[in-house]
Amino acid sequence: MEIAVYGFSVTILCFLPSNLFFNDFYVYEFGRIVRSGPLLFFAVTAVASVIYCLVALIHDSGKASENQQKNGIKYITGGLGLGALPMSFNVLSVRGLPVYPMDNFNFIPAIVSACGLLKDDLLDIGVLI
């Protein structure tokens, strides 16, 4: 499955400089957003993969045996996972809906990640020192 995903990514990378992905701009009252081309359908799969990863993290937090592992998964889910979710919904404004891009609020999940890193020592800094 990994080889298929890498192959799909390389295929997308080959077509990225063309007008098949992004070809113009929408002008909204809050600014300009790039207009998607006919091959931007993969953005829907990006939203699905982010939701799948969030569900997998939440499911695995129930299997964790130690409290530190549960807290780590909680902060990773809250910080990184919920940070990726608003970014993936930028596909709405790229497809023509006048919705303010939600990734401008990514500082909130970043704060959650920083709290987890500092509070629960998720990077295990003591071992590195």
Residues 59, 64: Cα–Cα separation, whole Å:
9
Model pLDDT for residues 45-64, shown as the tens digit of each residue: 777 777 787 787 778 777 77
Residues 112, 71: Cα–Cα separation, whole Å:
12
Please check the confidence at residue 18 and state whether its pLDDT lies above 80: no
Residues 100, 89: Cα–Cα separation, whole Å:
10
DSSP code per residue over 23-37: EEEEEETTEEEEEE-
The partner residues of 31 in beta bridges, in order of sequence, read: 28
What is the pLDDT, as a whole number, of residue 81? 72
The DSSP secondary-structure symbol of 47 reads H
Q: Is the pTM of this model over 0.75?
A: no
- In single-letter form, the type of residue at position 105 comes to F
